[in-house]
Structure 1
Amino acid sequence: MEYYRIEGIPTILANAAWKGNNQREPVWDSEKIPFSCFLERDPRWPEKFHVWKMVWTEDVIHLYLDEELLNEIDLESATYNDGFNPFRQPHYILLNLALGANGGDPSGSTFPISYEVDYVRVYQPE
């Protein structure tokens, strides 16, 4: 669940990545939605809080933004030949504000930058 400029176009990404057969190249399952799609619906979209949601089961990950499904990731596609699947292992949550990667240039930014997260919730089925 990311925001990048892709070929100069502001874009929201809903994705997952895992190690592929080539140790140096991950496999990506990614949906890229131009940021303009959100601005067309609501020009004040960037000024508001939004709800990102990940529903992660044994078989699939669904990624939502404000209840709109952005990506559905079939976890069977991440199973290695030996049967190991990285998405069927314990994980932790990491929230970060990464600057400058993937073509971004933070040199024109005014620091400090505010990164606001209202809440994080984790639910587990009973």
Structure 2
Amino acid sequence: MKHNKQMNAFEERFSEEIDHIIAVTGPSGVGAGKAGQESLWTASIPLIAWKEKDLIKTENIRLCWLTDEEGLREKQAQLHKESIMTLQVRKGEGEFMLVSLIDTDTQDEELQEILEEAKKPVFYHNDLLGTFELVKGLDLFE
């Protein structure tokens, strides 16, 4: 019963329409959390770009889903940071809901270029403090 209430509240945040996309995952892997008395994990992985009907969008958005412990471990083994995958999703405001994982090793030349660019190191130099490198998974300079 608890699962249903949590699932319904979660799914209400997304459109009913299911979209087929090819997506690039960001610099951090699958994360998850629970709030209060929730019985399911809210899991997510960041996306930095996706392609839908040959149109590419580059913006940071969360791919999320509800899952139990076993499902969380399964997705952590399947979904990797900095990779390209084919998915079925339902769109929400600033996030997508994972409906189906179709392929975790999709080949796409245009998205591969975006991924390669995203993997390049980013530096910030300050004359007084020195040079800092962006730790992309944490979004901070070290």
TM superposition score normalised by structure 1: 0.28
| Structure with more contact order per residue of length (Cα contacts < 8 Å, sep ≥ 6) | 2
Larger helix percent: 2
